[in-house]
Amino acid sequence: MTEYTDTEAETALCLWELICTGEGLTPETKAAFAQLRERVGTAALRYYTLLELVNPCEAAWRYAEDNEAQLEPYDWGHCPAFLNDWAAAGKLSA
């Protein structure tokens, strides 16, 4: 069984909450996640969130932090911006 750090688990929960609520997401990002959920199902989207989104989201935070450009707070500033950028870049697939 794969083990995750507390930080990775928190990031996954933040991202999943945003995917479910759409809070802070652009209409295009909301639509992209809705289409993905329809195509692969909720369970697969949860795993996608954990396996494919957590590490890039945290890496983007560290990069922004190193360049003093992070959006705070993490859950309501950085995470929605990350999801919007991810979807806009065409990286949303499972």
This prediction's pTM: 0.93
Tokens for 56, please give them. Answer: 């890039």
Q: What is the pLDDT of residues 2-30, one digit of tens each?
A: 899 999 999 999 999 999 999 999 999 99
Q: What is the pLDDT of residues 26-42, one digit of tens each?
A: 999 999 999 999 999 99
- The reply to whether 93 falls in a domain is no
- The reply to whether 33 falls in a domain is yes
- The reply to whether 55 falls in a domain is yes
Q: What is the pLDDT of residues 63-76, one digit of tens each?
A: 999 998 888 999 99
In DSSP notation, 42-78 reads HHHHHHHIIIIIHHHHHHHHHHHHHTT---SSIIIII
d(CA 74, CA 82): 10
- The reply to whether 37 falls in a domain is yes
Q: In the prediction, which pLDDT does 7 show?
A: 95
Kindly list the distances between the CA atom of residue 21 and the CA atoms of 15, 60, 81, in Å, as whole numbers in the listed order.
10, 22, 15
- The reply to whether 58 falls in a domain is yes
- The reply to whether 74 falls in a domain is yes
Domain span including residue 11 = 6-88
- The reply to whether 94 falls in a domain is no
The tally of domains found in the chain comes to 1
